Amino acid sequence: MVKTLGKGGKVRASHILVDKHSKALDIIKKIQEGEKFETMAKNHSECPSRKKGGDLGWFGRGQMVKEFERTVYDMNVGQMTHEPVKTKFGYHVIKRTG
Is 13 part of any domain? no
Task: Domain of residue 65: give its range.
Answer: 19-96
Q: Looking at residue 1, what is its pLDDT? A: 42
Please report, for the domain that includes residue 60, its CATH number: 3.10.50.40
Asked if residue 78 lies in contact with residue 96, where contact means CB atoms within 8 angstroms, the answer is yes
Measure the CA–CA gap between 5 and 13, rounded to whole angstroms. 12
pLDDT in tens, 26-74: 999 999 999 999 999 999 999 999 999 999 999 999 999 999 999 999 9
Calculate the average pLDDT of the chain.
94
Res 9: pLDDT: 86
- Tell whether 54 is covered by a domain: yes
Tell me the backbone φ, ψ of residue 11, rounded to 5 degrees: -125, 165
- Determine the pLDDT at residue 83: 97
Strand order in the sheet with 90-96: 55-59, 11-18, 90-96, 85-87
Please indicate, yes or no, if residue 31 is contained in any of the structural domains: yes
Q: Quote helix, strand, coil % in the chain, to nearest 5.
A: 40, 25, 40
Which one, of 7, 8, 16, lies nearest residue 52 by Cα? 16
d(CA 22, CA 79): 21
Instruction: Give the pLDDT band (50/70/90) at residue 2.
Output: very low
- How many domains does the structure of the chain reveal? 1
